Amino acid sequence: MHRVRASIGGTALMLAVAGCTSEPEARDPQPTRSPSPSVTSSAPSPSPSPSTTPSPRARVGPVSVPALFDKRYDGRGLRLGDVLARTDAYTSYTVTYRSGDLRISGKLDVPRGRGPHPAVVLAHGYIDPAIYVNGQGMRREQDWLARAGYVVLHVDYRNHAASSRVPSAERRLRLGYSVDVVNAVHALRRTTKVRVDDDRIGLVGRSMGGSVIYNALVAQPGLVDAAVLFAPVSSRADDNFDRFIRQDDGAGDQALTREILDAHGSPRANPAFWRQASPRPYFDRITEPVLIQHGTVDDTCPPRWTRATYRAMKAAGVDVTLRWYAGEGHTFYGAWPLSMRRTVAFLRAHLT
């Protein structure tokens, strides 16, 4: 049963900067042994480092996780568009819904049968908005989850596909992606177009979408019943900025780097901002069970990031499970069916 019905709450900020599904599978040298894919991690749970814990007296800026705790959400107006496909198990539609003043597009898979059906909202990894098309990034997950009986709403995010354009989104660290995902959940609950079980809704995020989900969980506790992350980015905004935008080798987006540094300062010069831009210091707000799945040789999102996130969640009292996949890189090739079977089992256990 859904434990807390979130009517008005906050969402989160994210540094949505990584996770294209077409990343190469080159090996990332990782020290030490990795747990077997069939073993749940039981890493020690030290207290969060003071460097990641914001002062309770720190001023809350407009681009920050806590600034969105009390944000009003009004996801509404879900509209079914063209039929994209009819399969033996589900029908796919283009959709739009409202996220504040914006129109957000997406792809909706509706299982056959009367329902009401449980639902999941999907948050995809980074794909250049200039080339992104409707529903791109998690096609495998969409099909598998719809065949398992879930209404699947894949969010395009603002600036993607047919969604409204927001020129300031990147300068504001793509905070709005999390807003759009939270509003997607509300839109599903309010719609009469599809029979959705309001008490059985989960979140599934991949790579950059993992940060979208982390932020949604800390910003609006009780919004959903469970969350699953695949190969997520770091739960520290400065890690993501340094690796995917600034890039010390000069290969990063230098124009965006300068814009962000001018607006917010560097992690070294303005550590308070970057702490507040991260979900990790606020993990104690999470009320939902979380499953994180990560390959041991992921060279896009280093496994050490997920180890640190897991330890921080355990220290904060989150019901978190971590599954490692030995020899798997960022896109989960050989172990992908196993990861999806575990995903469905986890959702069925908690979307009750």
Instruction: Answer whether residue 214 is part of any domain.
Output: yes
Instruction: Answer whether residue 30 is part of any domain.
Output: no
Instruction: Answer whether residue 14 is part of any domain.
Output: no
Instruction: Answer whether residue 18 is part of any domain.
Output: no
**Both tokens assigned to 140:** 């495998």
Domain count, the chain: 1
- Tell me if the bond preceding 303 is cis, omega within 30° of 0: no
CB 121 within 8 A of CB 137: no
Instruction: Answer whether residue 142 is part of any domain.
Output: yes
Residue with tokens 């190469």: 24
- Residue 52 is predicted with a pLDDT of 44
Q: How far is CA 335 from CA 38, 46, 233, in A?
A: 11, 30, 19
Neighbours of 72 (CB within 10 A): 9
Nearest to 224 by CA among 277, 280, 184: 184
**What global pTM score does this model have?**
0.85
**Both tokens assigned to 114:** 């009367």
- Residue 55 is predicted with a pLDDT of 45
CATH code for position 235? 3.40.50.1820
- Residue 255 is predicted with a pLDDT of 92
Q: Angle at which helices 208-219 and 176-190 pack, to 10 degrees?
A: 70
Instruction: Answer whether residue 167 is part of any domain.
Output: yes
Instruction: Answer whether residue 4 is part of any domain.
Output: no
Q: Could you give the 3-state DSSP secondary structure of residue 31? A: coil
Instruction: Answer whether residue 100 is part of any domain.
Output: yes
Count of all residues that appear for the chain in the document: 352
The residue segments making up the domain with residue 140 are: 50-350
**Residue 91 identity (one-letter amino acid):** T
Report residues of the chain scoring pLDDT below 50. 1-57
- Residue 315 is predicted with a pLDDT of 98
Chain center to CA of 1:
23
Alpha carbons 258 and 58: distance in angstroms, whole number: 25
- Residue 35 is predicted with a pLDDT of 38
- Residue 60 is predicted with a pLDDT of 85
